[in-house]
Amino acid sequence: MLSRVAERMYWFGRYLERVENTARLVNVNANLLLDLPKSVKHIWDSLIHITGSGELFFEKHGKAEERNVIRFILADTSNPGSITYSVRMCRENVRTTREIMPSESWEQINELHLFVKQHANNAQNREGRHEFLDEIINYCHQINGFLSSNMSHDETFNFIQVGMNLERADMTSRIVDVGCMDLLGHKETIPDAFDNILWMNVLRSLSAYQMYKQHIHDRVNSNDVVSFLIQDEYFPRTVAFALSELNRCISILPRNDHALRQITRMQRIIGELEVEKIIASEKLHETLDDLQIELGKIHELVMHTWFDYLTDSETTQEAQAQS
């Protein structure tokens, strides 16, 4: 398999997962906005910082407010983390490798691209935003399901899964960070009951609430939710599960020693996390930042091991798009 094609598949997997999880990230914030006590002012810049795009945002906007934050995340084509940008890059990576993917998947991706192009600007208003984001998530599920059922699970598919699971681990940690940032920003003014509401929203944003309740027979609370979403090995959207899938996919590839070593190291770090102590000492945000740095190292090893064949402007553009 050519390095260029493998890289396209890797980035397709990353961008498709980024589209879905960015929609989930905005959804959890939208739900929190409805559930916040009136005494608490929602801090929009926390969403910008969590997506890792603060520098670019504040170059363009002096202050983070609902409208400019939502536009930046949904529709700003200069923001590599926006839904519009990610859908466009997802489509572009498939366009140049169409011959190795089922033709129907190209049609589905085009439908997603057209839907976002037509509706992203309207979704900046609260009315209709939830429906727009849910439709984005549904499109991503359709594409993923179709590929899983109708594409040979060969090396091409494997690189899609590597990109998808690395992005998923990163974005799950960022969605957990939403709960962390909101609680720390309003610790003195938020009623105890809000802790339960906040973490319930985080679970639901990842479609994890029902599975969480099956595993944790207690009221929803920060310690158990964070532990579940980071450390649980059975739910597909946890960091631990994504790392396990990464390990499986990369084990099949040649020259995998360095990448596997870093994945194993990160699995050990996650397994040893004492979540209750971390939250009690108010170090959850820093811990999540550290996990994202470790995930970045896996990305760098993947790029260096399998795709480090040239440095043209197109490849550089995609490498810089990692949030």
With tokens 């939403």, the residue in question is: 178
- Check residue 234 and give its pLDDT: 97
Length of the chain (residues)? 323
- Check residue 108 and give its pLDDT: 97
| pLDDT tens, residue by residue, 130-148 | 999 999 999 999 999 999 9
Neighbours of 277 (CB within 10 A): 10
Rounded-to-integer distance, Cα 58 and Cα 278, Å: 30
Mapped onto helix, strand or coil, the DSSP state of residue 145 is helix
Residues in the chain predicted with pLDDT less than 50, given as ranges, are 311-316, 320, 322-323
Rounded-to-integer distance, Cα 17 and Cα 9, Å: 12
Rounded-to-integer distance, Cα 85 and Cα 237, Å: 23
Up-side HSE of residue 252: CA atoms within 13 Å toward CB?
Answer: 13
Rounded-to-integer distance, Cα 28 and Cα 198, Å: 9
Rounded-to-integer distance, Cα 283 and Cα 299, Å: 25
Range of the domain at 104: 3-320
DSSP letters spanning 22-86: HHHHHHHHHHHHHHS-TTS---THHHHHHTT-HHHHHHH-SS--HHHHHHHHHT-TT-TTSHHHH
53 close to 81: Cβ distance less than 8 angstroms: yes
**Whole-model pTM?**
0.91
237 close to 170: Cβ distance less than 8 angstroms: no
- Check residue 181 and give its pLDDT: 67
CB within 8 Å of 163: residues ≥ 6 apart: 9, 10, 11, 12, 13, 14, 15, 17
Rounded-to-integer distance, Cα 303 and Cα 140, Å: 24
- Check residue 43 and give its pLDDT: 67
Q: 8 is written with which tokens?
A: 């396209």
For the chain, how many structural domains are there in total?
Answer: 1
- Check residue 38 and give its pLDDT: 66
Q: Is the dihedral of CA 132, 137, 141, 147 positive or negative?
A: positive
